[in-house]
């Protein structure tokens, strides 16, 4: 009679490999999802902040109160998304010309100008020497002051 050999068994190695590869694949994937959500949250927040700031500016009674109202509306919109307004800039400019000209915002009837909210943010868990803190998002909103607004 000849002796029969039994095939060797893995004895649980497949479950260890599954857990190891699962962690190896899922952790980076989870990080990418979190980073994408952070970018989206900032982009949505500045877009909403520009829109609300533009509306607050256009409905103010005078130009002195308009900027203060716009800044407050911007802060509320950013806080609504769980972001601190520190380091966020509110700018005004001509339509299509960017937001560098501070004198473009006016309450004259029929006027058009752009409101821009610029925010620099950090991607989570990325060291500052890798991204340099240059992650900025800009929200723009074109304001049209009512044609029938009283000029006084």
- pLDDT tens string for the chain (152 positions)? 666 766 666 566 778 888 888 888 898 899 889 889 999 999 999 999 999 999 999 999 988 899 999 999 999 999 999 999 998 999 998 888 777 766 678 888 998 999 999 999 888 777 777 776 678 899 999 999 988 877 65
- Domain hosting 48: range is 14-144
Indicate the burial class of 71 (C-beta count within 10 angstroms; 0-12, 13-18, 19 or more). middle
Assigned domain for 1 exists = no
Q: Is 59 helix (H, G, I), strand (E, B) or coil?
A: coil
CA 88 from centre of chain: 11
Assigned domain for 151 exists = no
**Residue 145: how many CB atoms within 10 A of its CB?**
17
Assigned domain for 4 exists = no
Could you give the number of structural domains in the chain? Answer: 1
Assigned domain for 48 exists = yes
Assigned domain for 23 exists = yes
The pLDDT score that the predictor gives to residue 90 is 93
**What is the rounded CA–CA span in Å between residue 91 and residue 119?**
11
Detail the DSSP E strand segments found in the chain: 88-93, 112-121, 135-144
The pLDDT score that the predictor gives to residue 14 is 77
Assigned domain for 102 exists = yes
**What is the rounded CA–CA span in Å between residue 16 and residue 5?**
26
**What is the rounded CA–CA span in Å between residue 117 and residue 90?**
5
Assigned domain for 82 exists = yes
The pLDDT score that the predictor gives to residue 76 is 97
Query: Which residue shows structure tokens 């509320």?
Result: 76
Assigned domain for 8 exists = no
The pLDDT score that the predictor gives to residue 7 is 61
According to DSSP, the residues that pair with 89 across neighbouring strands are: 118
The pLDDT score that the predictor gives to residue 115 is 94
What is the pTM (predicted TM-score) of this model?
Answer: 0.79
61 contacts: CB under 8 Å, gap ≥ 6: none
């Amino acid at each position: 009679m000849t002796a029969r050999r039994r095939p060797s068994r893995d004895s649980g190695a497949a479950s260890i490999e599954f857990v190891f590869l699962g962690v190896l694949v899922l952790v980076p994937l989870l990080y990418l999802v979190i980073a994408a959500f952070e970018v989206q949250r900032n982009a949505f927040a500045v877009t909403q902040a520009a829109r609300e700031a533009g509306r607050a500016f256009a409905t103010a009674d005078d130009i002195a109160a308009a900027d203060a109202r716009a800044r407050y509306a911007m802060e509320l919109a950013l806080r609504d998304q769980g972001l601190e307004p520190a380091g966020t800039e509110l700018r005004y400019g001509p339509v299509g010309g960017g937001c560098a000209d501070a004198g473009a915002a006016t309450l004259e009837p029929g006027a058009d100008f752009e409101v821009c909210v610029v925010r620099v943010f950090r991607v989570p868990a990325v060291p500052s020497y890798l991204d340099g803190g240059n992650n900025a998002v800009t929200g723009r909103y074109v304001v049209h002051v009512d044609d029938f607004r009283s000029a006084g």
